[in-house]
Structure formats: C-alpha cells, structure tokens
Copies of this chain bind each other. A is one copy, B any other.
Amino acid sequence: MVNISTKGIYAVAAMHALSHSPNNRSMQIKEISAMTQISHGYLEQILSQLKKSSLVTSTRGAKGGYKLSRPANKIIILEVVEALEGELFSVHENVGATVVLEAFWADMQDKLRNLFSLKLSELDQAYQPFCYDI
C-alpha cells in the first residue's frame, strides 16, 4: 500500500530546511518550525525518527540542534519518506490473488520508488522557479 501522509511530507520539508543551513551548521527545532510551519511538538517526533534512521545527527543542550548526517546529494527523498512511514509501497500476500495483479502492483512499486529516488539536493535545482538574469 502506498503511504505518504503529512508526516512524510513534513519530514521532507524539515530535511529541505536543514539542507539550507549554511555550512551545515546545526539548526534548532525552533528555527525549523518557523521555516516550515510545522508545530514544535510534532517536529520533535519527526526529527527523532529521522535520527533513528541516521539521516540527521543531533547535539543536545543549549546551542544544540540537528543537522544532516550526509551531504544533501547523498540523500534521496525515498529514504526520508520511508524513515517516517516504513516501506513506501508493499504488496502483501493475497491482495493480488492473481498473477496479473501481483505483477501489476510489483511494477507500480518499482515505478513509484523510481519516482521518489530524487536527491535532496536536486529539489532546488529541479523545482526552483525560473528567474530572469539582469
């Protein structure tokens, strides 16, 4: 079943925010919350998960915060989403019930995973609105 909810989308937003921290300096939840409009409490949970999946590292205490554990071009969106929601698409036993449907859903899974295999760093490159030069 495909599963991308707000949680995964928020995670991508948080990671995207982190990827913009100059020189990958630590960012605090407070800052990320201000940038993404995600509630402080919910970010706590999300970042905790991202940490468990080794996508970010943290330092505690005053002046602490989170930062990317790897450069943004070594992280793909799929990882981020799956860190929060588990396997993006998993077809279980019996839901196909025919060979045709099993093959179909397996193919879908493949295509979906491809679709989400974009690097975090490519977000800006690919989706930045066109800007005129002077």
- List residues of chain A with CB under 8 Å of any chain B CB: 1-6, 8-10, 12-13, 16, 35-38, 89, 91, 94-101, 103-105, 107-108, 111-112, 115-116, 123-124, 126-129
Contacts and interface: CB of A to CB of B under 8 A. Distances in A.
A112 B96 CA distance: 20
Contacts of A36: 97
Contacts of A89: 4
Contacts of A116: 108
Within the oligomer, what is the number of copies of this chain? 2
A112 B111 CA distance: 9
Contacts of A38: 97
13 contacts: A1-B4, A1-B6, A9-B91, A10-B95, A16-B100, A16-B101, A36-B97, A38-B97, A100-B123, A101-B127, A104-B123, A104-B126, A104-B127
